[in-house]
Chains A and B, each alone.
Chain A
Amino acid sequence: MAEEVKLFGLWGSPFSRRVEIALKIKGVKYEYIEDDLQNKSALLLKYNPVHKKVPVLLHNGKPIAESLVLLEYIDETWEGNPNLPPDPYERAQARFWAKFIDEKCLPALWKALFGEESEQEKAMEEALQNLKMLEKELKDKRLFGGGGGGGGGGGEESIGLVDIAANFIAYWVGIIQEAVGAEILNRERFPVLYKWIDELLSCSVIRENLPPRDKMLAYFISRVQAAKASK
């Protein structure tokens, strides 16, 4: 039976891009369907009735949602280039940090960049603390790693779950900072994290699966202007 893999995604969404990166690393052929946020497509409401969000993967007609759940699904379904290591303890650490990124880092960063002014200072402190913890976890590794071969040379051999999960930090934060005129992440404050960003973005499978910078920046700038206009 021919395998049917469809991904409902959004060009600018880091969560959507995580799944694309994982699929690409595995060499899985898939059909990409861009979600039209304005008119949430009927298909999306059918396949993700709980959250009504992308990314949603449809594998032989069966839908799966939530990007971290998808990263594990992809790892378990298709052979080769795993994003999780075989050792149970190391797997647990990878899951722990991916969870930390989604539940602590990203919300704090988002609030620090976009939140109400009254919340921003506290969120900024929290975001900085979280990033420090994440940086500490890197130690002297080039990547968070744990993966088993992303093809090609350089750091790609060990792109792992945490590297993919941290894509927002590696790429989106810099763009959003520019759009809102804030600075949380910079090379002086986070030299080790920046080395990781450089390493990650040097991997072609990552670089080729990110939204174009200028288009992403323009999106956030217009978002900031719209927010100001509505005040």
Chain B
Amino acid sequence: MGEVEVKLLGSWMSPFVRRVQWALKLKGVTYEYLEEDLKKKSPRLLNYNPIHKKIPVLVIDGKPIAESPVIIEFIDDMWKHNPILPIDPYERSVARFWAKFIDEKLSNVVRMALFSEGEEQEKAVKESIESFEIVERELFKEKTLIGAGEGIGYLEIILGSFCTWLPAIEEGAGFKVFDSNKFPLVNKWMTDFLELSIVKEDLPPRDRLVSYFQQIRHFVLATKK
């Protein structure tokens, strides 16, 4: 099979972009990284993702793919070695189920908490905590997640990217969702996850992320009024 030209439109501060970078790294795929300024979206970004106007966007021989879970599945379909999703269809369905839950009930809800205040923020924080309770109770029931040292797959990428970014979002926005005492299983898993070299290298500095989330929160709240 011939070489394909791979580009990734991203932003240093996005956990969703990080997911795609981990996936590409796992496959050993060479790609060109293009940093996008989200305050002033480029014609390139708008051309490649006219529907959502968001990053990440993977561009394969000039053809774009958007939405991080879709991109990761594409990467797995395209390069067959070092599979990212489980092989067994049932295990794949479990991984997809939880990936969807994490994005809809954690990522999205935490974003709402980041960009709201007062009662609206309280509600989002409460919902996020409830979602973590479900993850602690249900996800860790079976051996669904790969343990530390065994590697990193689809669900680990999805959950791990969110959990890695969460402390900076919490600090930037001034709320608390993740109590490590309340969620010991998630906490243990996260601690081990952060030790993986693929995760550790190139993580944006915490204070830079906190500062970013503080600023973006301020900006969004100001424009809401």
Contact = CB atoms under 8 A, between A and B. Distances in A.
Contact of B73 (A59, A91, A100): A91
A59 B92 CA distance: 14
Contacts of B90: 59, 62, 64, 73
Contact of B77 (A50, A65, A70, A91): A91
A69 B96 contact: yes
B77 A88 contact: yes
Interface in A41-68: 49-50, 59, 62, 64-66, 68
Contact of A49 (B60, B69, B70, B138): B138
B67 A99 contact: yes
Interface in A139-159: none
Interface residues of A, number: 24
A156 B170 CA distance: 50
Given A88-B74, A91-B73, A66 B100 contact: yes
Given A50-B138, A133-B51, A64 B97 contact: yes
Interface string B171-215: 000000000000000000000000000000000000000000000
B208 to A, nearest CB: 30
A214 to B, nearest CB: 34
A96 B51 CA distance: 10
B134 interface: yes
Interface string A64-84: 111011101100110000000
Interface of B: prevailing SS: helix
A218 interface: no
Contacts of B73: 91-92, 95
Contacts of B63: 89
A76 B90 CA distance: 9
A213 to B, nearest CB: 31
A133 to B, nearest CB: 6
A133 B74 CA distance: 22
Interface in B71-99: 71, 73-74, 77-78, 89-90, 92-94, 96-97
Nearest to B131: A50
A70 B93 CA distance: 7
B65 interface: yes
Contacts of A77: 89
A133 B195 CA distance: 43
Contacts of B51: 100, 133
B66 interface: yes
A70 B63 CA distance: 28
A35 B134 CA distance: 23
A91 B92 CA distance: 16
B80 to A, nearest CB: 10
A73 B15 CA distance: 27
Contact of B96 (A72, A93, A100): A72
B101 interface: yes
A114 B72 CA distance: 35
B132 to A, nearest CB: 13
Contact of A96 (B67, B78, B134): B67
Interface string A179-208: 000000000000000000000000000000
A73 B91 CA distance: 10
Contacts of B67: 95-96, 99
A69 B89 CA distance: 10
B74 A91 contact: yes
Interface in B29-81: 51, 60, 63, 65-67, 69-71, 73-74, 77-78
22 contacts: A50-B134, A50-B138, A59-B90, A62-B90, A64-B93, A64-B97, A65-B97, A66-B100, A69-B93, A72-B93, A73-B93, A77-B89, A88-B74, A89-B74, A91-B74, A92-B74, A92-B77, A93-B65, A95-B69, A95-B70, A96-B70, A99-B69
Given A91-B73, A133-B51, 5 more contacts: A59-B90, A96-B65, A96-B66, A99-B67, A99-B69
Interface of A: 49-50, 59, 62, 64-66, 68-70, 72-73, 76-77, 88-89, 91-93, 95-96, 99-100, 133
Ranked 7 nearest A-B pairs via Cβ: A88-B77, A92-B74, A76-B89, A73-B93, A88-B78, A69-B96, A95-B70
